[in-house]
Structure 1
Amino acid sequence: MSIPRLSELSARLGADLDGVRERYRAERERRVRTDTSTRYRRAEGEWGYYAADPYVESGFTREPLTDRVDAVVVGGGFGGLLAGARLRQAGLERIRIVEKAGDFGGTWYWNRYPGIHCDIESYVYLPLLEEVGYMPRWKYAPGEEIRQHAMAIGRTFDLYTDALFQTGVRELRWDDGEWIVRTDRDDEVRATYVVVSNGTLDHAKLPRIPGIEDFAGHTFHTSRWDYGYTGGDPGGGLAGLADKRVAVIGTGATGIQVVPAVARDAEHLYVFQRTPSTVDVRDNRPTDPEWAASLGPGWHTRRRENFQAVVTGHATDEDLVADAWTASGQVLGKIISTDAHDDVDPDEWEQIEEFLDLEKMAEIRARVDRVVDDPATAELLKPWYRYACKRPTFSDEYLQAFNRPNVTLVDTADHGGVERMTERAIVVGGAEYPVDCVIFATGFEVGMSDVMTGRLPVYGRDGTNLLQSWAVAGPRTLHGFTSNGFPNLFHLGSLQNAPSVNFTHVLDEQAIHVAEMIAEARRRGVKSIEPTVEAETSWAETIGRTSPDREWFDAECTPGYYNNEGRPRGPRQTYGPGPGPFQRLLREWRSGDGIEEVLRGG
């Protein structure tokens, strides 16, 4: 992928830059609020009914377990499944996955709303395709297909046998050479190894709207879709909404998929928008059977590595995925760390990237004008911010939904969001919108696992609390996985490593790394995997030295979860060269002398 010359971009787009920057600043200021810390509430406590599991029978009970296994994996989403699968391949026999839901799937267990699909191509998003022997039916798979694939992984690698569902882990404690895992069902499981992968997309969040408790109509969160009320299924057919006035609050990645489905069946739909998303072309289509039959062994690894290279701006001989993600690879650098432009002067690259961003966002806004009939509505749907400020979205139906006579867009930017709710209506700017049903498409808490928030306390050697040990100098890990004083404990996620937009690929590389460390320790008869203090310190220095400076960018973005609602938390603790170099670093570390840093005791 060639990089345009700065002089060419400046000549073509420079005249627009100052005006667009000013518009971005003005649009950001319209949406910034001082009460960002209280904008949302977790669906728990008095709001716990929004988080209840609608897919299992209530009142489930069982006798507490007391036993010993080779490994406990906390979380049954794709991270936990990948950990379980790779540990099984490494030779571990008893692997107990503990999951609070009723089955495997993680986010895809909870999210079953109409219209749900993955927005990353299914041939690179769904993990272990060759191992399971499955080919997705669509380029962008629907949610139910993804959930069924998660369950198929569980069956293929015999992960159901020792799984504990409808169970939450409430404490991890190191004791005499093994971990004691205590759960909310009074289980006490001892394990040689523990892998924590309880994710960051499992705690539904609700907006703090005054009067929400006074609303007499029906409400639910998209992650707990109420088909008993709406009728239909994830494919649509929501006949129960035919005589209902419905509100959807939220226009992020979930709202983009929900709105077209509800618009088709509701008597009237009000879409409440604070900030419009970028909505690019999806162009979904069925899998070509001839293409699928032509693929040879190893195709899945090659394809996802190609996707990763293209979206991080690296030159490749071919773009195998060829979608809107890869077409935007040069403007994703503020989302995904990359070393693709290290040969360009940093100041010059910042200017090039801003011009490319300007071009991309102009293309996105022009699409709104082409698709949406009403000029006033089109203006409200145009995103005015840098491309990487919010999660990009893709749809061939969302913008079109606003051409329907039964759909009304309500922009809340000038009113600080939804003002309040009454018994029968939603109020914005003093205007009342009577509705029978409110659907909260407000997503999940993002970026903070239960370990990092303290909801799952971890006590290592000598009873040391993990978070307290990090309180002064910040997180201390080797490669984001292991910490001194906490033997045989492994974290999957984005801490001190290199995330990407295709997170299942990242999780698989992490699971492979953990499994190979454990396999090597077992081959050598080593009981403990734990980094030295020196190795931790060196990695912290590497992260500090390479982690990109993006605080200024986040501070200029429109409020959203990427920048903590307009108040960036501080430097991102990521490996600056990006996911590809990080994965190569791990492979070289495992095959060389690096692994000696973590093998302790025969």
Structure 2
Amino acid sequence: MNDRHIGIADPHPFVPSRKVDRLELFREKYAAERDKRLTKEGAGQFQAIDFTGKFSEFDTDPHVDGPREAGPMSLDLDVLVVGAGFMGMTAGIELGKRGISNYKILDVAGDFGGTWYWNRYPGVRCDVESYIYLPYLEETGYVPTERYVRGSEIFAYCQSLAQKYGLYDHAVFQTRVTEMEWDEDSARWTVRTDGGDEFRARFVATQSGLFMRPHLPGTPGIDTFKGHSFHTSRWDYDYTGGDDSGNLDGLRGKKVAIIGTGATGLQVIPQIAEYADETVVYQRTPTQVMPRQNAATDIEWFTSLKPGWHRERREAFDKCVQDRATLSEVDDGWVKFAKYQMDAVSEVGGANADLQAMMDALERSDYEWNEMLRDRVDAVVEDESKAAKLKTYYRTMCKRPGFSDEYLPAFNKDSVDIVDTTSTPIERITENGIVADGQEREFDLIIYATGFQGGRTWTEKAGYDVLGREGNRLSKKFADGISTLHGFLSKDFPNLFLLGFTQTATITNIAHLIDEQATHMMYLIDQCISSGARTIEPTAEAEQAWGKVMSDQTATRTDWLLTCTPGLYNNEGKIADTRNPLVSGVYVPGYQYFELLENWRKDGKLEGVVLSH
């Protein structure tokens, strides 16, 4: 396979040139930077944006004109799918392939797309190569226009998938589940919605999307600001003008504050800086910035790929990125970092090295990689004060790395300022602007790029409870953490398939996880239908055993997570809080989890699962 699709060369060196010897110096520096950002509140420092109540106006859907037009429905279904993102779409497509047509896909959004329906902010792109991120590429023959396509292209692709596979005939949009109750006599779930619907379904597949429920900082006074404000996942183009490619003419003459510099901030800030008269970035923790290396798709290369390339390319990428044991032809920042670490381990003996030498090599190479990226900040950002604030001091995978060719140069504009909230904390938001370290700055617009809810229970994020067999409530069962078999089934909640980060796996390419989850869920449904069973659920023993696997997995990562800067991956430093599934409920590396599920299916014994007739 040739590499003509790889992208443009970066104008600054992208190969570590400095060797690190004294690991303790970096450990001390990283620990000091972490400690500056630790809070006693942990994830409690954020304020949830719930469907109703305080801050619910931040959840207003900017993409619909009003409430849904359809009146209440009363339907008997074979399957109800809650969520119309990649997972819900994949579930619908696979149901159709099996001849199951009596299903509905329900979502609070106004269309398919999930993450890509909501996140339409300017600059948004996928951060994993589109050739392995987008689902069903071989089946549809679709050719992504670029290596990292814009969000608008991904959203349009979702719509085209829905058209191709007839999903719109099964869709119920602008509709939110309010309660779900199991009826033992009929072996059906009754699902009620805010639209007055009542669906009675044999099977329910539901998810609480990781990037669906936004939240705000815990800063007092958010509701007192008299200017304009919104969360990036509910971008208001009526105010800013433009679209996800930019052209934000509505910001001309405006003073804009943006709070948050994660993956979203990296993409949004250069767009704002191009148009606003003044842009002030409020940053708690800088994000590691690698070059984007985007390019138009080489059509000749893409059309030359042999059947099966999509799965092979996905699998090789995930194995390379997660355990550095496999080479990948996806030669991007993710893979370059993994290869650099592979080379470091090889230098100390590779697989024959003792464990401590291997761990030291991984740590040392991580520091060297970050030294390179800190040097890159100095090479790009002219103002030394700004550059110092943009340098990262944490291990690479403590936070999801960012990719941008425009982010760092944006800070060379005189109109762009950056405030380090660890040294200049935001005290409150006023009618006119933001007070930090006793000084008020006035703004016309405040944008919250503050991410999504992590440290809340599954039912809190979902916005509804589930009443299972004999009055058991999912809110009570999951109060101290999710409890399932393999992340899919939970005892006393038969025929309910939990999808997403529910004791499953963590993986760089989340679209691959979605595909694997859909495959396993459809296998379970097939087994239930083919055997004539009324219900499927796990045994208590199997659920407990999987819980032990999860706790053992967490234990292997605890020491490392404690060294990380506070963030989503370590629940803002509160790793003992088991409500965050990314801390207490993921299998690492993810590709081994996929192999575990595949072997379980091949075994055919349905170990740990009860089919009741």
- Structures share a fold, TM > 0.5? yes
Counterpart of 2:570 in structure 1 is 563
What's the secondary structure of 2:323's corresponding residue?
Answer: coil
Report the alpha carbon displacement of residue 452 of structure 1 after superposing the two structures with TM: 6.5
Instruction: Tell me if structure 1 keeps the 8 A contact 2:255–2:444.
Output: yes
Deviations 1:409-452 (A, max 9, x none): 2222113x322223323222223322221111112113757436
Partners in 2 of 1:348 and 1:382 — Cα distance?
Answer: 28
Partners in 1 of 2:220 and 2:547 — Cα distance?
Answer: 43
Over 3 Å counting, the alpha-carbon distance change for 1:470 and 1:103 in structure 2 is: closer
| Mapping 1:128-527, distance limit 5 Å | 128-175=136-183, 176=185, 177-316=187-326, 318-329=327-338, 345-415=354-424, 417-446=425-454, 450-451=458-459, 455-470=463-478, 475-527=482-534
Instruction: Tell me if structure 2 keeps the 8 A contact 1:454–1:467.
Output: no
Counterpart of 2:7 in structure 1 is none
What's the secondary structure of 2:169's corresponding residue?
Answer: coil
Do structure 1's residue 33 and structure 2's residue 39 form an aligned pair? yes
Partners in 2 of 1:407 and 1:167 — Cα distance?
Answer: 41
| Mapping 1:49-68, distance limit 5 Å | 49-68=57-76
Instruction: Tell me if structure 2 keeps the 8 A contact 1:194–1:490.
Output: yes
Counterpart of 1:589 in structure 2 is 600
Report the alpha carbon displacement of residue 399 of structure 1 after superposing the two structures with TM: 0.2
Counterpart of 1:3 in structure 2 is none
Report the alpha carbon displacement of residue 469 of structure 1 after superposing the two structures with TM: 3.5
Letter matched to residue 501 of structure 1: T
Partners in 1 of 2:255 and 2:549 — Cα distance?
Answer: 54
Letter matched to residue 33 of structure 1: T
Report the alpha carbon displacement of residue 251 of structure 1 after superposing the two structures with TM: 0.6
Letter matched to residue 550 of structure 2: I
Instruction: Tell me if structure 2 keeps the 8 A contact 1:122–1:139.
Output: yes
More displaced stretch, 504-513 vs 173-182 = 173-182
Percent of aligned pairs with the same residue?
43
Over 3 Å counting, the alpha-carbon distance change for 1:484 and 1:59 in structure 2 is: closer
Letter matched to residue 601 of structure 1: S
Partners in 1 of 2:352 and 2:588 — Cα distance?
Answer: 12
Instruction: Tell me if structure 2 keeps the 8 A contact 1:171–1:181.
Output: yes
Report the alpha carbon displacement of residue 491 of structure 1 after superposing the two structures with TM: 0.9
Counterpart of 1:338 in structure 2 is none
What's the secondary structure of 1:206's corresponding residue?
Answer: strand
More displaced stretch, 182-191 vs 20-29 = 20-29
Report the alpha carbon displacement of residue 68 of structure 1 after superposing the two structures with TM: 0.7
Instruction: Tell me if structure 1 keeps the 8 A contact 2:506–2:587.
Output: no
Letter matched to residue 305 of structure 1: E
Across the aligned residues of Structure 1 and Structure 2, the Cα RMSD in angstroms comes to 2.4
Letter matched to residue 401 of structure 1: A
Q: What stretches of structure 2 of length at least 5 have no aligned partner?
A: 1-15, 343-349
Instruction: Tell me if structure 1 keeps the 8 A contact 2:254–2:278.
Output: yes
Instruction: Tell me if structure 2 keeps the 8 A contact 1:313–1:330.
Output: no
Partners in 2 of 1:156 and 1:365 — Cα distance?
Answer: 46
Report the alpha carbon displacement of residue 259 of structure 1 after superposing the two structures with TM: 0.6
Q: What stretches of structure 1 of length at least 5 have no aligned partner?
A: 1-8, 334-340
Letter matched to residue 240 of structure 1: G
Partners in 2 of 1:594 and 1:324 — Cα distance?
Answer: 41
Do structure 1's residue 46 and structure 2's residue 60 form an aligned pair? no
Letter matched to residue 42 of structure 1: A
Letter matched to residue 241 of structure 1: L
Instruction: Tell me if structure 2 keeps the 8 A contact 1:497–1:573.
Output: no
Letter matched to residue 388 of structure 1: M
Over 3 Å counting, the alpha-carbon distance change for 1:495 and 1:21 in structure 2 is: same
Counterpart of 1:580 in structure 2 is 591
Partners in 2 of 1:198 and 1:575 — Cα distance?
Answer: 15
Do structure 1's residue 100 and structure 2's residue 96 form an aligned pair? no
Counterpart of 1:336 in structure 2 is none
Counterpart of 2:4 in structure 1 is none
Do structure 1's residue 117 and structure 2's residue 125 form an aligned pair? yes
More displaced stretch, 574-583 vs 585-594 = 574-583
**Number of residue pairs matched?**
582
TM-score with structure 1 setting the length: 0.91
Instruction: Tell me if structure 1 keeps the 8 A contact 2:79–2:103.
Output: yes
Instruction: Tell me if structure 1 keeps the 8 A contact 2:177–2:464.
Output: yes
Report the alpha carbon displacement of residue 521 of structure 1 after superposing the two structures with TM: 2.6
Report the alpha carbon displacement of residue 552 of structure 1 after superposing the two structures with TM: 2.6
Letter matched to residue 385 of structure 1: Y
What's the secondary structure of 1:322's corresponding residue?
Answer: coil
What's the secondary structure of 1:96's corresponding residue?
Answer: strand
Instruction: Tell me if structure 1 keeps the 8 A contact 2:210–2:501.
Output: no
Report the alpha carbon displacement of residue 40 of structure 1 after superposing the two structures with TM: 1.7
Report the alpha carbon displacement of residue 577 of structure 1 after superposing the two structures with TM: 5.2
Letter matched to residue 487 of structure 1: P
